[in-house]
Amino acid sequence: MLTKEQIQELLQPLTDPESGKSLIDLQLIRDIMVKEDRVSLSVICLEEDEKSRMELEQRVRDLLTASEVSNVHIRLRNATDYERSILRGESSEDELDTEQGEGLKGHAAGLEGHELINEKSGVNFIAVASGKGGVGKSTVTVNLAVALARKGKRVGLIDADIYGFSIPDMMGIEEGPIVEEGTIIPVERFGVKVMSMGFFIRENSPVIWRGPMLGKMLRQFFSDVGWGKLDYMLLDLPPGTGDVALDVHQMLPHSKEIIVTTPHATAAFVAARAGSMALQTDHEVLGVIENMAYYECSSCGKKDYIFGRGGGARLAETLHTELLAQVPLGAPDNHISEPDFSPSVYKAETPTAQLFAEVADKLIAKYEQ
């Protein structure tokens, strides 16, 4: 089967008629996934008329089938006004870099009154942290946010992992935020309103910023976005105890925190640093979630503790809090062709989603009792 890179090479001849540049180079062909004998991808359409869209889809399909790729799933999406302005040359590469360096200046100009940080706003802030990367912190965050939304709560989610943003991809979000009457409107998916750095830079471009610039971006996420009325705001913090985590603690003195770890003793030991930082800045730790706690055999139901046992419980004891859940190792059984496809959100009826629903109930009880 072809690789993602080979698919990109096959589609390289497709060009934008106005600029003459390749659609691959313009990143108008995205989300390329190769699984067994199936290829799926997203095509961002600069032209909105149906004939142009269908012609573009057929050209993509023809190039792939010519290379014996028979099972192709193509998702078409119209470009947002922001994407169209960038790609049609109204904003140059240098200007784009300047926009990144100055946060959301181009979008946030003239925004008024969307103050979320004020403690009197009534929003319950929950920061999700970990001591190190790779423990599934973002997976926990998105599924917890969706679980709260399924309980009927109004939920926002900020991807505060500025360097390693992943929330849009994990939730299957293909569109970006729009601007209405000078207000940035967050993208809504599974009932959760989402804002991420990933919406404002080109795909796979590195973010090379210093701490003060990151803090400014986060502050604009809090204050310059039209979130509407929220019950809960979750923040996916970057791993560790660096500038971004410290900025969040300083901006939101009333925020509470969940620590994510794996069962391995070393991971739990490192995660304790993130918990200690929360405690030292007078932030309550709501609890610990132990991710990848075990692998459960689908045929026999036997549990194998392949990453060890007890790390989450020991961490909870160290931080004088409770172990909220032990989430098994696994991935959602979602299919690319489904209209609500997302790589990381579990369907409501699955056992893992039920675990997150139980955590959501615990959090609601803590906040609303």
Residues 159 and 220 in one domain: yes
Residues 42 and 136 in one domain: no
Query: What's the pLDDT score for residue 289?
Result: 94
E strands, the chain, are 29-35, 38-45, 71-78, 124-130, 155-159, 178-180, 183-185, 187-189, 192-196, 232-236, 256-261, 285-290, 295-296, 303-304, 323-326
To the question of pTM greater than 0.75 for the whole model, the response is no
Which CATH number fits the domain that encloses residue 335?
Answer: 3.40.50.300
Cα–Cα dist 356/6, whole Å: 38
Listed residue (155, 140, 146, 152) closest to 233, CA to CA: 155
The answer as to whether 323 is a domain residue is yes
Residue by residue, pLDDT tens for the chain (369 residues) are 678 888 888 999 998 888 888 888 887 887 777 776 778 888 888 887 888 888 999 999 899 888 878 788 887 877 766 566 666 654 433 433 444 434 344 433 333 334 666 666 788 999 898 877 788 889 999 999 999 999 999 999 998 776 677 888 889 887 888 877 777 888 899 999 998 877 776 555 444 444 455 556 677 777 778 888 899 999 998 776 555 566 666 677 678 889 998 898 877 777 787 777 777 666 788 999 999 999 988 788 888 998 888 889 988 888 889 999 999 998 888 766 566 778 899 999 999 999 999 999 999 998 876
Residues 138 and 265 in one domain: yes
Which CATH number fits the domain that encloses residue 75?
Answer: 3.30.300.130
List residues bridging with 98 in a β-sheet: none
The widest CA-to-CA distance across the chain, in whole angstroms, is 62
Residues 70 and 132 in one domain: no
Residues 71 and 173 in one domain: no
For the chain, give percent helix, strand, coil, nearest 5: 35, 20, 45
Q: Which of 79, 108, 130 is the last residue of a domain?
A: 79
Q: Which of 79, 105, 140 is the last residue of a domain?
A: 79
Classify burial at 196, counting beta carbons within 10 Å of its beta carbon; exposed 0-12, middle 13-18, buried 19 or more: buried
Residues 193 and 317 in one domain: yes
Cα–Cα dist 136/29, whole Å: 28
Q: Is 131 helix (H, G, I), strand (E, B) or coil?
A: coil
Number of structural domains found in the chain: 2
The answer as to whether 103 is a domain residue is no
Cα–Cα dist 112/125, whole Å: 22
Task: Please write down the long-range contacts of 361-366, taking CB distance under 8 Å and 24 or more positions apart.
Answer: 361/151, 362/287, 362/324, 363/126, 363/144, 363/148, 363/232, 363/286, 364/148, 364/151, 364/153, 366/286
Range of the domain at 303: 119-368
* Tokens representing residue 139 in the block: 């997976």
Residues 358 and 255 in one domain: yes
Instruction: Give the model confidence (pLDDT) of 218-270 as tens digits.
Output: 777 777 788 888 999 999 987 765 555 666 666 776 788 899 988 988 777 77
